[in-house]
Amino acid sequence: MSVVYDLIIIGGGPAGLAAGLYGARARMKTLIIEKQKMGGQIVITDEVANYPGSVHEATGPSLIARMLEQCDEFGAEKVFDDITGFDFSGTTKILKGKHNTYEGKAVIVATGANPRKIGCPGEKELTGKGVSYCATCDADFFQDLEVYVIGGGDTAVEEAMYLTKFARKVTIVHRREELRAAKSIQEKAFSNDKIGFLWNTVVEELKGDGILEKIVFKNVKTGEISEVEADEEDGTFGCFVFTGYLPQAEMFAGTLDMEGGYLKTNDNMETNVPGVYAAGDARVKSLRQVVTATADGAIAAVQAEKYIEHME
């Protein structure tokens, strides 16, 4: 006889773990299903300075370790599996994984969104060591250093302006000869003395011995290759990549309402399907941070508890 959980959470990042904590603490039989590694994007972050109440020198892995301990303390179950199919049509929701099939009265989708990568040599090795995808998270690490921002859309230009509060110089690198950002945002960037531009340019390679020290650029029109090196006194500089996000929710298209690939919810994290909720970076929202992900997870679990109570 198969087990029917009260609550199943897809995704073991901060949103999923917060939901698991709240669900298990409410005495719901709770299961967290994670595809690869618990923690989501935060586990590649060396320092977490902007999560309220985080201890001095907290890291992404240490924060996730504490979240996992809390989930274990209240009895949330965890399993590693890759969900490949689902059926949300009945009162019991069915999730089909590569290794097993799971049934639950309520489901929280917390599958996250991954920043779109450059895809060049050195990027993976230097992520968190000069290469970043979040200005809000990492800007203060580049106080008085030079920073390169990759991208030309609204987010890239807005984050470049934010980075000028910390860096001594910010250079926006864009593959075209004009920005894609809204004109009002462009005007602010062009009038900022700390922002420069590299047009028709892409990143070919990121180099460094344990920390970002050089960036190899290519002019897409001329094919010319150039290399910039961090100031000798600085020893490093920053490369912030803002070329978009890839929400990990495509399998739910056609069943759950979406916008731009992200899951649409109301303020209670409810999707258009009763008993199915979304939390964290996979849903439509204005700020994707650990603190907002955990809030989403908590809200979703509390609402799921109320939904189940009304079922019975």
- Write down the residue that tokens 């700020």 correspond to: 287
Does the annotation mark 134 as catalytic?
A: yes
Q: Which of 6, 71, 134, 281 is catalytic?
A: 134
Q: Which of 137, 239, 281, 296 is catalytic?
A: 137
* 3-class DSSP assignment, residue 171: strand
Q: Is 38 left (phi over 0), alpha (psi -120 to 50) or beta?
A: beta
Gap between the Cα atoms of 49 and 59, Å rounded: 8
Q: Which of 6, 71, 138, 281 is catalytic?
A: 138
Gap between the Cα atoms of 306 and 48, Å rounded: 33
Tell which residue, 105, 183, 136, has the closest CA to residue 41: 136
- Residue 293 DSSP label: H
Gap between the Cα atoms of 59 and 66, Å rounded: 11
Gap between the Cα atoms of 72 and 102, Å rounded: 20
As annotated, the active-site residues are 134, 137-138
